[in-house]
Amino acid sequence: MKIENAVALVTGANRGIGLAFAQELLARGASKVYAGVRNPATVTQSGVQALQLDITKPDDVAAAAALASDVTLVINNAGIAEPGGFLAPDSEEVARRLFETNFFAMLRMSKAFAPILKAHGGGALLNVLSVSSWVSRGELAVYSASKSAAWSLTNALRNELAAQKTQVLGLHMAYVDTDLTREIEAPKSSPGEIVRRALDGLESDLDEVLADDLTVQVRQGMTAARPSLYLDTCSGDTRPGTGGVGML
């Protein structure tokens, strides 16, 4: 789809990748950009319309769909991350928190806005995923599972929404220089670079964007003969350059 004159809703648009999406959408001529955030007071970007939206709350999502009924592009960007392996004592609690935001909230938003996109000719969903969709080990194992589920959801939505001509794009990347990765010492892409590649892919009608070299390498390894990065268990360190795989 074309960004010019589109009406977009970006979740988590007050900082990081979400803020970069809002800025780039405006630069490319979107006619309106809704910034869906828990606290509208945190939205400082001029030219966007702040929208009260906690994606983990069904009532907030329903209210947002009623208020933003002109949307033609939904960017499911909001997500959370926290460390934790599956054998940790609190792994079930961590998994529930991560899946509620990274999977169930994405599903909730997609269901709420699919009819709106249909009413405007199809439009598009852009789901922010991760290279962690394909690599699961170390301290990000539970987070990776939530992103794997979101990847599967994205692929299923693409099939289910094809009949109404809704484009569904999955965006994968490794570390990005945001608050989420502030304490991590590893090579990082800039939010602006990731967003530009994502929107270029959207305007080129792609289904999937691999936004950095590491993500391309991991994705290619999924179909290569072993050993493959996504199966490699020789190191639990997930930082680039340490024998592991850097992830977001």
242: confidence class by pLDDT, cuts 50, 70, 90: very low
pLDDT at position 236 over 90: no
Quick one: three-class SS letters along 82-151?
A: CCCCCCCCCHHHHHHHHHHHHHHHHHHHHHHHHHHHHHCCCCEEEEECCHHHCCCCHHHHHHHHHHHHHH
Question: Where do we find the tokens 């709420």?
Answer: 112
Average pLDDT in the 113-137 region?
95
- Residue pair 53/62 in contact (Cβ under 8 Å)? The answer is no
Average pLDDT in the 34-40 region?
97
- Per DSSP, helices labelled H in the chain are 16-27, 58-67, 91-99, 105-119, 141-160, 191-203, 213-221
> What CATH superfamily classification does 7-221 receive?
NAD(P)-binding Rossmann-like Domain (3.40.50.720)
Average pLDDT in the 74-98 region?
95
Global confidence as pTM: 0.90
pLDDT at position 229 over 70: no
pLDDT at position 187 over 70: no
Question: Where do we find the tokens 């493959």?
Answer: 228
- pLDDT over 70 percentage in the chain: 85
Peptide bond into 191 cis (omega under 30): no
Question: Domains of the chain: which residue ranges?
Answer: 7-221
